[in-house]
Amino acid sequence: MIQIGMVGKTLIHNYPYAAYFNGADDDKLEALCTKAWMLAFTKGRHPEPAAKGSRITHVWAGVREEAEALAGSCRIDNVGDSADEVIENVDGVLILDEEIDSRTETVEMCLNAGKPIFVDKVMSLCVDKTRELVALAQSK
C-alpha cells in the first residue's frame, strides 16, 4: 500500500482528493466540511475508496482543526503537527496549498526529501524558480 501525505498551509480541493483515495463518510462530511462547494462536490461520490493500492495516511494544514475535520470525514489516520512530519512518514505527497509562497517552499522541501509529488497548482509564480524546481525533481 502506497502511503500518501496531503499538505498545505491553506488546503484547497482537499475533500475531493481525500474521498477519492480513502472514501468518505457522508454523515461526517455533512457535520465537518465547512466549505459548501466541496461538500456538494464530494458527498455521495466515494463511500468507498476509488484508488487501489494507495491511501492518504497523513495530513497537515496550517489550521489543525481543518486537518482534523478532513481526517475525521475521509478516514485519514494521522494529523501531523508540521509538513515535515507528514513528508517524513509517507511515500509520496499531494501538495494542495492555495498559498503560492508556502506551496513553493513545500515543493522544494518534498523534492529535497526525495519524495514524489503531485502539485495541484503551479509550483511558483517565478519562471526561474519553477525551472529550478523542475531541475531538482529531475535530479532526484
Mean pLDDT of the chain: 95
pLDDT attached to residue 26: 94
| Spatial contact of 79 and 69, defined as CB atoms under 8 Å apart | no
The runs of H, that is alpha helices, within the chain are: 14-22, 26-32, 36-42, 64-73, 83-88, 100-112, 127-139
pTM: 0.93
- Give 115's DSSP letter: -
10-residue averages of pLDDT along the chain (140 residues):
96 94 94 89 92 97 95 97 97 96 95 96 95 95
Provide the b/e sequence for 51-69 (b: ≥16 CB within 10 Å).
eeeebbbbbbbbeeebbeb
Q: How far apart are CA 102 and CA 55, in angstroms?
A: 24
pLDDT attached to residue 35: 86
DSSP, residue by residue, 54-87: EEEEEEEESSHHHHHHHHHHTT--EE-SSHHHHH
Distances in Å between the Cα of 37 and the Cα atoms of 9, 22, 26, 28 are 20, 19, 14, 16
pLDDT attached to residue 34: 85
